[in-house]
């Protein structure tokens, strides 16, 4: 859905509301500052919304032109190429905005056939995409529920992974009940951090009930509150507070699920009851370590092997505590495989850990990925393809599976299939800035320029959030530069490249992607060759194989220096030319 931010002076609020309502009717998600939450600083929320907007509609008037807030918001949008201008009373926007066209709403009577409205809508459509009005969601069940992300009340942002994990597990438990329709985790998490009206959420998602709650974890104690709310009336159907030892965390989750079943007067089938009670572990300490490792795996600094090393250490501790924790074994296998094949480190390739996971639970899709990677590295292409097919079949809703499937289909130059998997990955974890970068590459290969631009905006907005949380995140800094390059912001691109190299000079994935940007986007061949020289000499097998055919380097492919770099890197890894080997699609990022 296209996100639209409306900037206006307080005296123009009625017109801003009317314009916003019409855009909402057209299927766009619209935000004005009347929706500011009570628990966050004003400026912080405004900044978040501006950065996340596909289009920023600035309503100029005599009063708006005097407003420092409106000017600042317009300036941010102009820099991000999301600015759309409207003059409400004929006022000419102040400099430098007077150089940009305005839709004329002077004397507008709310008609959609007016020239001003048509001009505004055309600009919104170009920037935010064409969005059809939302159709009624088909459902064969009378009862439906959305589990909102539980608030982290621990007073420590580092505990966010735990409250998110609780929310996801309750969602998974409820989804096993056949008589209850459950909104997907990724949809529910779009409301994370927002102050929302539960009835509005229920109406927007067309659900009968909403579950909200909070988690406070301190030492070996945990307090969880949960409220089941009628989406039509806003009344509490059930509410409870659990103040227990951390070792009771699974019992609490079971009690919440069963309480919802009872409150909604649902009949729980025996196999459903058994499925809800089935968990990867009954050890709270191992569970906590797994949630922490998974958070690092998803949000960590991609391209920095310390991410993999950290995940390996934490998962190793989890399986030491509970040797039968299949999910922890699978995540350990993924980290080992990445460290071996992406970074060329002499560690186990995850095959043994993956087998351990599958021996405990044959349905874990992610455990097939290290096996796929081993087969792919050995050039056993048919066997690798068969293994990937198994992983996709078991893990259609797995972020890790969809990311790896995207890479796999790119290696076969099947860009449409790769695009579908990257789109699914982005849907599952919207904050994955690297996924958006891969989507931008896919859209570029397909010639879908409007989508390339949208993906680039998401690269910038999501990478900016990651940099705000961790200024040393080299992967995020690299994607930020790539996003600006796609958007044509040359000065910002070079500025962020310089900053990233200063902060994280040893991030090989980041350096590789910078070489792509320099060669393909900035047409700076000398800088690209210099960047590659310090990258390929240390790159793992996977990165070398990608570079060998990456069309981002077509402008330097005939340069003897590039050819020597590739030949030397292949020789170092013992890579022989293979006519069936991986041939990445245009603009494929390295990791």
Beta bridge partners of 275: none
Residue 138 DSSP label: P
Give residue 108's pLDDT band: very low, low, confident or very high (50, 70, 90): confident
Q: Work out whether the CA dihedral 297, 303, 306, 308 comes out positive or negative.
A: positive
Give residue 585's pLDDT band: very low, low, confident or very high (50, 70, 90): very low
pLDDT in the model for residue 587? 46
Give residue 332's pLDDT band: very low, low, confident or very high (50, 70, 90): very high
> In terms of pLDDT, which residue wins out, 302 or 584?
302
pLDDT in the model for residue 396? 86
pLDDT in the model for residue 582? 41
Least confident of 35-39, 258-262, 286-290, 325-329: 35-39
Average pLDDT, the chain: 85
pLDDT at 431 over 60: yes
pLDDT at 473 over 90: no
Do the beta carbons of residue 85 and residue 119 sit within 8 Å? no
| Domain locations along the chain | 3-128, 143-279, 434-591
Q: What proportion of the chain, given as a percentage, has pLDDT over 90?
A: 29
Do the beta carbons of residue 85 and residue 102 sit within 8 Å? yes
- At 18-70, the pLDDT tens digits run 898 888 877 788 887 765 554 456 666 777 778 778 889 999 999 999 888 88
Do the beta carbons of residue 364 and residue 334 sit within 8 Å? no
- Reported as type and span, the H/E element at residue 217 is strand 209-218
359-381 mean pLDDT:
91
Query: For 247, what's the count of Cα atoms within 13 Å in the CB-facing half-sphere?
Result: 0
> In terms of pLDDT, which residue wins out, 188 or 309?
309
Count other C-beta atoms under 10 Å from residue 233's C-beta: 10
Fold classification of 143-279 (topology level): Rossmann fold (3.40.50)
346-356 mean pLDDT:
93
Select 3-128's CATH number: 3.40.605.10, 3.40.710.10, 3.40.50.10140, 3.30.1360.200.
Answer: 3.40.50.10140
pLDDT at 243 over 80: yes
Give residue 356's pLDDT band: very low, low, confident or very high (50, 70, 90): very high
- At 522-562, the pLDDT tens digits run 889 999 999 999 888 888 777 787 788 777 788 898 999 99
pLDDT at 17 over 60: yes
Q: What proportion of the chain, given as a percentage, has pLDDT over 70?
A: 92
pLDDT in the model for residue 564? 92
* Those residues with Cβ within 8 angstroms of residue 233's Cβ, 6 or more apart along the chain or in another chain: 199
pLDDT in the model for residue 225? 93
280-295 mean pLDDT:
89
pLDDT in the model for residue 61? 92
Distance CA 432, CA 452 (A): 16
pLDDT in the model for residue 200? 87
Question: Is the peptide bond preceding residue 96 cis, with omega within 30 degrees of 0?
Answer: yes
Give residue 136's pLDDT band: very low, low, confident or very high (50, 70, 90): very low
CATH number of 434-591: 1.25.40
pTM: 0.66
pLDDT at 303 over 80: no
Joined together, the tokens standing for residue 579 give: 């006519």
pLDDT at 584 over 50: no
- At 183-231, the pLDDT tens digits run 888 788 878 877 788 888 888 888 999 999 999 988 888 999 999 999 9
Do the beta carbons of residue 449 and residue 419 sit within 8 Å? no
- At 565-574, the pLDDT tens digits run 999 988 888 8
Same fold, 143-279 and 434-591: no
pLDDT at 140 over 60: no
Do the beta carbons of residue 215 and residue 224 sit within 8 Å? yes
Nearest C-alpha neighbor of 253 from the set 353, 170, 160, 336: 170
Give residue 125's pLDDT band: very low, low, confident or very high (50, 70, 90): confident
pLDDT at 494 over 50: yes
Distance CA 449, CA 493 (A): 19
pLDDT in the model for residue 578? 57
Alpha helices per DSSP H over 212-325: 249-263, 270-277, 284-299, 305-321
Give residue 504's pLDDT band: very low, low, confident or very high (50, 70, 90): confident
> In terms of pLDDT, which residue wins out, 474 or 334?
334
Angle at 465 between CA 459 and CA 470, to 5 degrees: 115
Residue 272: strand, helix, or coil: helix
Distance CA 324, CA 321 (A): 9
Give residue 580's pLDDT band: very low, low, confident or very high (50, 70, 90): very low
Nearest C-alpha neighbor of 418 from the set 184, 183, 582: 582
């Amino acid at each position: 859905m296209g996100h639209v931010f409306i900037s206006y002076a307080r005296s123009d609020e009625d017109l801003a509301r009317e314009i916003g309502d019409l855009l909402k009717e057209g299927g766009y998600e619209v935000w004005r500052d009347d929706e500011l939450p009570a628990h966050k600083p004003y400026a912080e929320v405004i900044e978040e919304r501006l950065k996340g907007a596909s289009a920023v509609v600035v309503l100029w008037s005599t009063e708006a032109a005097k407003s420092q807030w409106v000017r600042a918001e317009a300036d941010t949008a102009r820099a991000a190429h999301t600015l759309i201008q409207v003059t409400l009373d004929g006022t000419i926007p102040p400099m430098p905005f007077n150089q940009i066209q305005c839709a004329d709403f002077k004397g507008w009577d709310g008609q959609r056939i007016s020239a001003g409205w048509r001009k505004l809508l055309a600009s919104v459509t170009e920037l935010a995409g064409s969005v059809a009005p939302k159709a009624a969601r088909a459902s064969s069940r009378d009862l439906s529920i959305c589990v909102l992300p539980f608030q982290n009340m621990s007073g420590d942002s580092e505990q966010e992974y735990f409250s998110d994990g609780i929310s996801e597990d309750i969602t998974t438990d409820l989804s096993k009940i056949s008589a209850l329709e459950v909104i997907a985790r990724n949809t529910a998490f779009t409301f994370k951090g927002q102050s929302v009206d539960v009835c509005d959420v229920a109406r927007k998602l067309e659900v009968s009930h909403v579950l909200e709650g909070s988690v406070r974890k301190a030492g070996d104690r945990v307090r969880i509150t949960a409220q089941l709310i009628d989406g039509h009336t806003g009344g509490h159907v059930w509410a409870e507070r659990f103040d227990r030892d951390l070792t009771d965390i699974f019992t609490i989750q079971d009690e919440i699920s069963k309480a919802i079943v009872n409150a909604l007067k649902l009949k729980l089938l025996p196999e459903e009851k058994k499925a809800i009670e089935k968990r990867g572990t009954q050890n709270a300490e191992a569970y906590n370590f797994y949630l922490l490792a998974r958070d690092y795996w998803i949000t960590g600094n991609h391209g920095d092997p310390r991410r993999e090393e950290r995940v390996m250490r934490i998962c190793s501790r989890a399986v030491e505590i509970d040797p039968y924790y299949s999910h922890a074994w699978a995540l350990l296998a993924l980290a080992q495989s990445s460290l071996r094949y992406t970074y060329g480190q002499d560690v186990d390739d995850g095959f043994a850990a993956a087998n351990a996971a599958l021996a405990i639970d044959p349905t874990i899709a992610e455990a097939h990925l290290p096996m796929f990677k081993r087969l792919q590295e050995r050039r056993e292409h048919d066997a690798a393809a068969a293994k990937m097919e198994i992983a996709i079949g078991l893990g259609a809703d797995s972020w890790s599976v969809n990311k790896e499937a995207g890479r796999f289909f790119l290696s076969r130059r099947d860009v449409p299939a790769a695009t579908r998997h990257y789109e699914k990955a982005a849907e599952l974890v919207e904050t994955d800035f690297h996924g958006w970068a891969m989507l931008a590459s896919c859209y570029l290969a397909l010639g879908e320029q409007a989508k390339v631009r949208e993906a680039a905006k998401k690269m910038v907005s999501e990478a900016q959030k990651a940099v705000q949380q961790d200024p040393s995140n080299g992967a995020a800094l690299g994607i930020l530069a790539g996003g600006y390059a796609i958007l044509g912001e040359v000065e910002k691109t070079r500025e962020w490249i310089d900053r990233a190299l200063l902060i994280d000079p040893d991030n090989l994935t980041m350096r590789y992607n910078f070489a792509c940007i320099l060669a393909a986007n900035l047409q700076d061949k000398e800088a690209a060759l210099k960047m590659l020289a310090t990258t390929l000499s240390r790159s793992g097998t996977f990165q070398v194989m990608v570079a060998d055919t990456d069309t981002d380097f077509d402008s330097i492919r005939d340069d003897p220096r590039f050819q020597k770099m590739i030949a030397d890197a292949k020789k170092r890894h013992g890579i022989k030319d293979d006519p069936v080997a991986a041939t990445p699609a245009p603009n494929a990022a390295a990791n």
